[in-house]
Amino acid sequence: MATYTPNYGLHQWVPEDQFLREDFNEDFQKLDKTLGRTEQMLLGLYRSLPCVLYPLFDCAIKDYAENHAYPNIKNLILDGLDNQDKIASLGGRLTMQLGNVVLPWDADPAAITTVAFDLTGIHWSHATIWIRCEPQADYSALVNNLPATQTGKRSAKTADGKIDCAEVQFDVEIPDGGSSAVV
């Protein structure tokens, strides 16, 4: 005589039990129904993600500016890239974290290449890049092999006056636009 699993009520047998194929069919139907519901739930969450990302980024930027809470990252490209569908390649140690492209502080330079797969996808015409930096160091950035212009620099100090973090901002106009960008 079969017992049943606690969560889904699937059949469980001991070696002496006799079982019917219908028992397996019943279990497969339960699994299929559960997986179908789970897939629909995940699809709904995936579709709602873009609606959450920009307010989340906005809160993160405000916290970043007001509290000088700097994550341990080398740079951050804030683009709302909610998944990797429109990213052709991430070079070096670049990773995606919550829709941001992150290069660890101790990493060598790396590139991201984006490719839009449809006409309503990403279209690059301007890029603003903030890079966490050493206060006295010189930095440069290229977007599609165009030199970006340094347009800002800021630093945050600890209570005793030591520089806690410095950032440099670069801007570049991409004259012919396009659906691909390499930073």
How big is the chain, counted in residues?
Answer: 183
> 39 with 98: CB under 8 angstroms?
no
What are the pLDDT digits (tens) for 118-169? 434 555 566 666 666 666 667 777 777 788 888 777 666 666 766 655 667 7
Q: Based on the number of CB atoms within 10 Å of its own CB, is 14 exposed (0-12), middle (13-18) or buried (19 or more)?
A: exposed
Please write the tens of the pLDDT for every residue from 30-62.
999 999 888 888 877 777 766 666 566 666 666
Question: Which residues have CB under 8 Å from 15's CB, separation 6+?
Answer: none
Indicate the pTM of the whole model.
Answer: 0.37
* pLDDT exceeds 80 at position 68: no
